[in-house]
Structure 1
Amino acid sequence: MTYEHFNDDLRDTKFPLNHGSGAMPAVGFGTLFRDLSVTTQAVKDALEAGFRHFDCAERYRNEEQVGVAFKEMLDAGKVRREDLFVTTKLWNTNHRPERVAPAFEASCRRLQVDYIDCYLIHTPFAFQPGDNQDPRDEEGHVIYDDGVTLIETWRALERLVDEGRCKSIGLSDITLEKLREIVEVARIKPAVVQVEAHPYLPEWELLEFCKEHGIIVLAFAPLGHGMEPNVLEEPVITQIAQRVQKTPAQVALAWSVQRGVAFLTTSATPSHIRENFDISTLPQRAMVEIQEDITTRIRFNSVVETGVPGFIPRKK
């Protein structure tokens, strides 16, 4: 660790929200864990490491465990609520307008917060309303809900902003085409769009559109989710990592923030949590190399096509 990294403020970058006066920390921590029992400790470790932006969702089924971590750290005076940026998401089964406020309230209650910094529609797909998060017919196909449109759901989110419990609203797992439709008719424009993005899926066109409209792009799977082909084994990235004496993960995450994209990483391992926070500015030459020399293009998660989250395992 060389001394010049100490005054490098890349990890402290905040992107201003286009609605209200807030700003989203570019460096974010995701809370989707396979093993839900690690949630509380991982969130506490992330807070200790310096993370202040946390991405949650009712679909992850662990908002309560996240809330326990927040409460412990807030009560201990280790963090202030106004320094936290808490995002959570409306699940597909709650798209009908009358279901939005109750779903929002339930998330607030589980997270033990009295407001949410950003509320996202988890996917643009409405599923059959009800308590079953994954409604399927006899043949195992998802049961969609054609009784509600995305803009009707969006209007219900706008009302949450009007009421002041929700500072900003946005969309997740959405295509540029669908995003344009909402931006055109929205009274309160989306502040944030969360999509899969990494050096193998840079989403430049979406990013350009979002920058024009002051929308923050928030990347999930910024390291490619450990899938094959592995972003962290990409020669362009490993060579830059050697030159700048950082890990491939730190290079990919720094690239994200420097091009204006906030990111979410998830880990339950304290050393990885610290590594993902400890990013430093890359030289301009490295930024150009990542943009121009990486030609692999791949999407690892098919959620944008179906509304069903899931990474597609690919054989080499």
Structure 2
Amino acid sequence: MSYEAFHDALRDTRLPLVHGSGEMPAVGFGTLFRDLSLTTQAVKDALETGFRHFDCAERYRNEDQVGIAIKEMIEAGKVRREEVFITTKLWNTNHRPERVEPAFAASCRRLQVDYIDCYLIHTPFAFQPGENQDPRDEHGNVIYDRGVTLIETWWALERLVDQGRCKSIGLSDITLEALKVIVAAARIKPAVVQVEAHPYLPEWELLEYCQQHGIIVLAFAPLGHGMAPNVLEDGVITEIARRLRKTPAQVALAWSVQRGVAFLTTSATLSHIQENFDISTLPHRAMHEIKTDISTRVRFNSVVETGVPGFIARKK
């Protein structure tokens, strides 16, 4: 019997928001594009393909275009708002508590929605408040904001949940140590933590901690972002793909969901969008091989150290 002979439910996996309401589709679509004009069509293609989780951010500067795509698909009767899980993020320049609600409201306006399913603090680093998203001094160094702490920003997010305007809140680009501090001090615990994770950066310790605390781990760059050393050219991954008649990308993405990690992939190419959605369950042997036989360890994005994103998605 071929693997294609039955519909595998892996792509339909939904993870419960223990510290929020509802469930997050494990298979997600990221909306960080270098060419912003591609956004609307890519999101429509992803919705048509079956993606129901969309990850956005104020910093990506294209929430408007995402909103247009989702609204058009809803109005065409292709999808209902309650079927679409929308994540977006508070940028570093808006960490001061009085700036959180206006930033959130602006994201809702751009996305043309009256609630957000998950609102994340984009990075734990506060930048100088203002309209400039990348404030720098005369030497080109980032100007950080020492006048606010991460827990103060977190408390402002908790108020959005209290008001019913977002169903869950979380953190992004955070280390395990910093996460533990927030979990200890939070009234409403983080529901989601978004970090770089792939077979070369499995983040097992973070995952174990999050699973103990009912926190969903959401992986960005689950395919290693096409950077060297290339995850998709790894011998273990390519051999499993050959055996299962799947692509290396499908193997890496299935591995993510099977170990309990939601993922985000981004592409403006329809064939890639479809490939990334068409995942199916890996045999135990393959899961074991990825865990034990891959020893390469590399982080591709330095954002966890600086708050400055280290890469922008390249066009496929």
TM-score by length of 1: 0.97
Give the whole-Å Cα distance in 2 for the aligned partners of 1:196 and 1:5.
Answer: 33
- Residues 1:3 and 1:259: Cα distance change in structure 2 (over 3 Å): closer
Deviations 1:265-307 (A, max 9, x none): 0000000000000000000000000000000000000000000
Aligned residue number for residue 248 of structure 1: 248
**SS state of the match for residue 147, structure 1?**
coil
Whether the aligned pair in 2 keeps the contact of 1:126 and 1:145 (CA below 8 Å) is: yes
Q: CA offset at residue 6 of structure 1?
A: 3.5
Matched, 1:293 2:293: yes
Aligned residue number for residue 183 of structure 1: 183
Whether the aligned pair in 2 keeps the contact of 1:28 and 1:55 (CA below 8 Å) is: yes
CA RMSD of aligned residues (A): 1.1
Q: CA offset at residue 226 of structure 1?
A: 0.2
**SS state of the match for residue 7, structure 1?**
coil
Aligned residue number for residue 208 of structure 2: 208
Q: CA offset at residue 311 of structure 1?
A: 3.1
Deviations 1:93-149 (A, max 9, x none): 000000000000000000001100000000000000000000000000000000000
Aligned residue number for residue 119 of structure 1: 119
Residue 248 of structure 1 aligns with an amino acid whose one-letter code is P
Q: CA offset at residue 33 of structure 1?
A: 0.2
**SS state of the match for residue 116, structure 1?**
coil
Residue 158 of structure 1 aligns with an amino acid whose one-letter code is E
Q: How many correspondences in the alignment?
A: 312
Give the whole-Å Cα distance in 2 for the aligned partners of 1:187 and 1:78.
Answer: 38
Aligned residue number for residue 280 of structure 1: 280
Q: CA offset at residue 50 of structure 1?
A: 0.2
Q: Give the 4+ runs in structure 1 shifted more than 3 A.
A: 1-6
Whether the aligned pair in 1 keeps the contact of 2:126 and 2:144 (CA below 8 Å) is: yes
Give the whole-Å Cα distance in 1 for the aligned partners of 2:189 and 2:246.
Answer: 37
1:195-274 pair list within 5 angstroms: 195-274=195-274
Aligned residue number for residue 110 of structure 1: 110
Whether the aligned pair in 1 keeps the contact of 2:135 and 2:143 (CA below 8 Å) is: yes
**SS state of the match for residue 301, structure 2?**
coil
Whether the aligned pair in 1 keeps the contact of 2:90 and 2:100 (CA below 8 Å) is: yes
Aligned residue number for residue 167 of structure 1: 167
Give the whole-Å Cα distance in 1 for the aligned partners of 2:19 and 2:173.
Answer: 21
Matched, 1:129 2:139: no
Whether the aligned pair in 1 keeps the contact of 2:114 and 2:165 (CA below 8 Å) is: yes
Give the whole-Å Cα distance in 2 for the aligned partners of 1:7 and 1:262.
Answer: 20
Whether the aligned pair in 1 keeps the contact of 2:43 and 2:69 (CA below 8 Å) is: yes
Give the whole-Å Cα distance in 1 for the aligned partners of 2:94 and 2:4.
Answer: 48
Percentage of pairs with the same residue: 84
TM-score by length of 2: 0.97
Whether the aligned pair in 2 keeps the contact of 1:5 and 1:280 (CA below 8 Å) is: no
Aligned residue number for residue 27 of structure 2: 27
Whether the aligned pair in 2 keeps the contact of 1:303 and 1:309 (CA below 8 Å) is: yes
Aligned residue number for residue 97 of structure 1: 97
Whether the aligned pair in 1 keeps the contact of 2:10 and 2:279 (CA below 8 Å) is: yes
Give the whole-Å Cα distance in 2 for the aligned partners of 1:125 and 1:151.
Answer: 12
Q: CA offset at residue 310 of structure 1?
A: 1.2
Q: CA offset at residue 4 of structure 1?
A: 4.4
Structure 1 unaligned residues grouped into runs of 5+ = none
Q: CA offset at residue 18 of structure 1?
A: 1.2
Give the whole-Å Cα distance in 1 for the aligned partners of 2:278 and 2:18.
Answer: 27
Residue 120 of structure 1 aligns with an amino acid whose one-letter code is L
Give the whole-Å Cα distance in 1 for the aligned partners of 2:3 and 2:264.
Answer: 26
Q: CA offset at residue 20 of structure 1?
A: 3.6
Give the whole-Å Cα distance in 2 for the aligned partners of 1:102 and 1:305.
Answer: 27
Give the whole-Å Cα distance in 1 for the aligned partners of 2:50 and 2:6.
Answer: 14
